[in-house]
Amino acid sequence: MSVYEQITQARASAIGEIEQVDDMESLTALEPVLFGKKSTLGGLKRLMGEVDAAEKAAVGQALNQAQADVRQAHAMVKERFIAESRREQLETERLDLTESLEKSMRGRLHLVTQTMERLEDVFVGMGFTVSEGPQAETDWYNFEALNLPAAHPARSMFDTLYLDLGERTEIGDGEGGEATNILLRTHTSPVQIRVMESNPPPIYTVCPGRVFRRDTADASHMPVFHQIEGLVIDRGISLTDLAGTLNEFTAAYFGGAIRSRLRPSYFPFTEPSAEFDITCVICEGEGCQTCQRTGWIELGGCGMVHPNVLSNCGIDSEEWTGFAFGFGIDRLALMRHGIKDLRDMYTNDVRFLEQF
């Protein structure tokens, strides 16, 4: 038998043995037989010395080729075993991911808080700070400083809840040095007064918060609700600055299709005063039932801060001018989510709270 025939035979028998193996263990056991010094091909390598010098290169090449073929056959089978065993392993790990028994543990912020934070974020983006103040207030901060003295007929616009603090109810004194009533703020405007009293202009701030009115609860009124007001005091602030600021806010909060407009109105604390309308968010201005076919919905009130209010806060109204605006937060939430009855927001039924 020529050396070439021996090589061919050894190769064939090694590959034959590889193909007979049917698990990884047997394959591993076979490895010394295939590649070790005692393997047939290994034995043939030792015979190389006996080959003619002229043949040496050719035989060597044949031998290397045979060894490469055996290694390849071995590698293929080994790979197959690895894949099979992985497949088996994975199959044992199979899970129905829809079988989850865990209840979701994520909580929810109240819809009013979510809305308030969204509003604050928009105004912070526009360069405003966020100011806060007490909910129980003096008559001075809630009314008098806002150009609403006790006899002012416009006070009837506010159904006010007063506190009974025993003797203190009458002794507390307002800025004017007279006895004052303590009440639950009817708007967040007293925060504006506090900000103006303690900070020199320029002022760019919003005052979100809880407010109170002596209103019987119904689908669109609650005695306790939330408002955000804005205040800007700077040199040269005008009605057009107010219109521009409200436009920018409207586009940022509601989206570009929604615009705002001002209509003349009356508030004791602003002059000129305006009503602030936005494009109806339901019909985007086409006219629908919600907007009584006008294409606009009333959002809030605004105007140039009344000179009396500025001087009540020690600000020179010749040097500084400013604007203020305000609107309800609860109503925005209602509009955005199509909630028909304001009272639903305050039952604290988790089936309501968890929807948002």
Partner 1 sequence: MKVLLSWLREFAPIEGDPYELADHMSDLGMAVEETRPLNPLKGVVVARVASLRPHPEADRIQLVDVEVEPGNPVQVCCGAFNMSEGDLIPFATIGTVMPDGMEIAQRKMRGELSNGMCCSAAELHLGADHDGIMILPQELQVGASLMEQLGLVGDVLWDLEINPNRPDAMSVAGVARDLAARLNVPFEIPDWSVPVVEAREADLVSIHVEDEELCPRFTARVIRGVTVEKSPLWMQMRLTLLGMRPINSVVDVSNYVMLELGTPNHTYDLSLVPNGHIGVRRATDGEKISTLDDQERTLLSGDGIIVNEESAPIGIAGVMGGASTEISESTEAVLLELASWESESIARTSQRLGLRSEASARFERGTDWRLNVNAVERFCFLLSEISSGEIEIVGEVLDVHGALQETGPVSVRTSRISLLLGREFTSAEIRELLLPIGFDVETTDEEDIQLVTVPSFRPDTETETDIAEEVARHYGYSSLGTRVPRSPDAGRLTAQQKMRRMIRQIMIGSGLVEAMPNPFLAPGDVSKAGLSVANPVQLLNPLAVEESVLRPSLLPGLLTSAAYNYSHRNTGLRLFETGAIFLASDDPTSSLPDESEQLAALLTDSDAAHAVGLLRELGDGLKVELTLINADDLPGLHPTRGARICIGEEEIGSVGEIDPVILERFEIEDRCAWLDLRLDGLIEAAIAGSGVAYQPVSTFPSSDVDLAFVVDEEVQASAVEQTLRRAAGDELQGLQLFDVFRSDQMAQGSRSLAFSLKLQAKDRTLTDEEVGGVRQRCIQAVETSHKATLRS
Residues 268-287 that bind Zn ion (CB under 5 A): 280, 282-283
Give the DSSP H or E segment for 95: none
Go through the chain and tell me how many residues it has.
356
With CB under 8 A as the contact rule, the residue among 56, 80, 214, 337 that binds partner 1 is 214
Tell me which of partner 1, Zn ion, none is bound by residue 214, counting a contact when its beta carbon lies within the kind-specific cut-off of 5 to 8 angstroms: partner 1
Among 122-130, 151-159, 265-273, 290-298, which window interacts with Zn ion (CB under 5 A)?
290-298
* 326, 275 Cβ separation under 8 angstroms: no
For 143, the 3-state DSSP assignment is coil
Query: How is 36-92 classified by DSSP, letter by letter?
Result: STTSHHHHHHHHGGGS-HHHHHHHHHHHHHHHHHHHHHHHHHHHHHHHHHHHHHHHH
Measured from the CB atom, the residue of 61 and 238 that comes closer to partner 1 is 238
Residues 281-310 that bind partner 1 (CB under 8 A): 292, 304, 306-307
With CB under 8 A as the contact rule, the residue among 45, 78, 221, 261 that binds partner 1 is 261
Number of residues that bind Zn ion (CB under 5 A): 6
With CB under 5 A as the contact rule, the residue among 291, 305, 329, 342 that binds Zn ion is 291
CA distance 284 to 192: 33
* 317, 307 Cβ separation under 8 angstroms: yes
Query: If binding is defined by CB under 8 A, does position 150 make contact with partner 1?
Result: no
Three-state SS string over 238-307 comes to CHHHHHHHHHHHHHHHHCCCCCEEEEEEEECCEEEEEEEEEECCCCCCCCCCCCCCCCEEEEEEEEEECH
Measured from the CB atom, the residue of 174 and 285 that comes closer to Zn ion is 285
The token pair at 208 is 């979100």
Residues 323-352 that bind partner 1 (CB under 8 A): 345-351
Tell me which of Zn ion, partner 1, none is bound by residue 353, counting a contact when its beta carbon lies within the kind-specific cut-off of 5 to 8 angstroms: partner 1
Query: If binding is defined by CB under 8 A, does position 238 make contact with partner 1?
Result: yes
Measured from the CB atom, the residue of 41 and 280 that comes closer to partner 1 is 280
Measured from the CB atom, the residue of 63 and 302 that comes closer to partner 1 is 302
Measured from the CB atom, the residue of 6 and 188 that comes closer to partner 1 is 188
Min separation Cβ 123 and partner 1, Å:
7
Query: If binding is defined by CB under 8 A, does position 236 make contact with partner 1?
Result: yes
Query: If binding is defined by CB under 5 A, does position 258 make contact with Zn ion?
Result: no
Query: If binding is defined by CB under 8 A, does position 224 make contact with partner 1?
Result: yes
- Fill in the amino acid letter for 299: L
Residues 180-209 that bind partner 1 (CB under 8 A): 180, 182, 184, 202, 204
Query: If binding is defined by CB under 8 A, does position 252 make contact with partner 1?
Result: no
Task: Select from 247, 244, 299 the least CA-distant residue to 277.
Answer: 299
What residues pair up with 277 in beta bridges, in sequence order? Answer: 261, 298
CA atoms within 13 A on the CB side of 345: 31
Binding site for Zn ion (CB under 5 A): 280, 282-283, 288, 290-291
